[in-house]
Amino acid sequence: MEDGEDPGNAFAIPDLWALSRYFPESEDPYSFLFSQLKFDDISKKLPDQTVGQIDNGGFFALPDFPFESPELSIISSSTPSPLSERGEEVNTEASDEYADIWSFAPEKELKSANYLTWDAFDEQREEAPRICYVSEGGPQLFDAAVADDTNPLQIDNQDAVVVSGSTYASSLLALGLGRNSVLFTWNEETKEFESTLKSVRTSGCSTELTHDITALFLRCGNTTKALRSFTDKAYIKHRSPGRIALADAVATVLSTLQSHLNIPASSLQSILKLQSLFQPVDHLLSIFHELILAAGSAENDEVMLSKLFHFIEQTEHRTDSTQTILLEVLSRVSRPFLDFAGEWLGIQRETGMPLVKGSVGKSFVKAENRLWIDEQGMEIRTPDFVLDESRVPSFMPEDDMQILFEAGRSLRLLREHQPEHPLARGDILTSAAPPVLEWEFSWQNIEAIGVKAKQYEKDLAAAIEKYSTSGAAITAPHTPQPP
């Protein structure tokens, strides 16, 4: 321990503040942080700056103060003003126009109250702002600009006949519904609607705009006429139930559209609003026109059903109301085929002349002579029912159709040999509330039909068991009809 250290300090660390041995001796003024170069004191060489040498006109000049110098301002503000003999301050600087910031602002004189009434408010009339655009000036301004000889709008519509908006809108409404009007008539040779005027435009619209709007209504009118022609020919020329059902569906759509678009003439002021009403109508009419072109040329009802089913199947991705309408059309057009299938199965009463062997046949069932070989090897030709595969709709699977045909064929054989059997009696079958053959498009309805079919099967099994045990004719059970 070196001399001078306190031996009683137990926490003393020897050489705590000692310099590193890599540093030079303490007498050496060398330092790593500062250079050894010695400069003269720069403050000793700068000239003395006086207040009078400041450039008052430079960029960094001080602003003008209301006093001459800071010292004078401080002295004047700190020195109290002399008092007069009466104790009042003497204003020694009244001539210098110096504003005392501590003095109160002079009070403003109060204005007299205005007497306000609602009468003056009602008498105010705001002047309408001047119109900067032709489109904001109304149809009269546009018509005047078009009729001007200088042609400021650069539109060659001077020769067009100007028709009022309400008159043109009523003519467009009649055109869209397939009717003749003052401005549009039907041409029997071209099978199209034509305008009675060569060049026409409505007030406030150019000829090009009027022509573009009219194109939509011309398309609707021509399509409506084509659909009406199809329905008229179906009622006159064709006798098939399926084609009549399709004509009924098309006629129902047309009558519904006409009742929906039965707009009074007084409310027809804007052809653009009328155009927005007919845009979905044009879409629906074009779909039905394509449908009758695809299914109308079929040689029989079953082929027509197949084409109709394929057409609707291609549009199943639609999410609007059009898909619902097409499915309803499919259900209605398929009704004759499904009714005959129900009669063939025995779940519906037969209407009209019953189908017997030796007859012409109906739908997918035809009667023809079949060749049989008896026990003696003799060939015998007897009339029998045969499945006509060419008249089976494409939506019916081949196996299901074969089962359906064989069930109906066996039912007629049972009626021929055992007319008292429960399955051969139409009153017992119909009293058991059999399910009806129809289209369903939701799982809930399909499951309900399955439950009803199982109940019908259970009722028929009970009737057959009762007939087998008693061996006598039974009466038709009373089954309550579903609500």
What are the pLDDT tens digits along the chain (483 aa)? 555 556 666 677 777 776 667 665 555 555 555 555 555 555 555 555 555 555 555 666 666 655 445 454 444 444 455 544 444 444 544 445 556 667 666 677 777 877 777 877 776 666 666 666 766 777 777 777 777 777 667 777 667 788 888 888 889 999 999 999 999 999 999 999 998 888 888 877 778 888 888 999 999 999 999 999 999 998 888 778 899 999 999 999 999 999 988 888 777 778 888 999 999 999 999 999 999 998 878 888 899 999 999 999 888 777 678 888 999 999 999 999 999 999 888 888 887 777 777 677 788 888 877 777 777 777 777 778 888 888 899 888 989 999 999 998 888 888 888 888 888 777 777 777 888 889 988 899 989 998 998 988 888 888 888 888 876 555 555 444 444
CA distances from 329 to 226, 259, 280, 322 (A): 18, 19, 18, 11
Counted domains in the chain: 2
Buried b (16+ CB within 10 A) or exposed e, 148-163: eeeeeeeeebeebebb
pLDDT the model gives residue 285: 94
* H/E element, 423: none
3-state secondary structure of 220: helix
Q: Are 429 and 421 in contact (CB under 8 A)?
A: no
pLDDT the model gives residue 226: 94
Residue 318 included in any domain: yes
Residue 283 included in any domain: yes
Residue 345 included in any domain: no
**Where a domain ends, among 332, 350, 365?**
332
**Where a domain ends, among 332, 361, 376?**
332
Residue 385 included in any domain: no
Residue 448 included in any domain: yes
Strands 161-163 and 200-202: what pairing? parallel
| Sequence-ordered strand ranges (E) for 91-172 | 161-163
Residue 247 included in any domain: yes
**Where a domain ends, among 283, 307, 332?**
332
Residue 71 included in any domain: no
Are 307 and 426 found together in one domain? no
Residue 473 included in any domain: yes
Residue 465 has which token pair? Answer: 């068991």
Query: What burial class does residue 395 get, using C-beta atoms within 10 Å of its C-beta: 0-12 exposed, 13-18 middle, 19+ buried?
Result: middle
Residue 173 has which token pair? Answer: 């409404």
Alpha-helical regions (H) of 25-93: 70-78
* H/E element, 384: strand 379-387
Residue 387 has which token pair? Answer: 């499945």
Question: Is the four-CA dihedral 348, 352, 355, 361 of positive or negative sign?
Answer: negative
pTM over 0.75: no
Distance CA 152, CA 158 (A): 12
Are 302 and 430 found together in one domain? no
Residue 372 has which token pair? Answer: 């049989």
Supply the range of the domain harboring residue 262: 160-332
Q: Are 155 and 206 in contact (CB under 8 A)?
A: yes
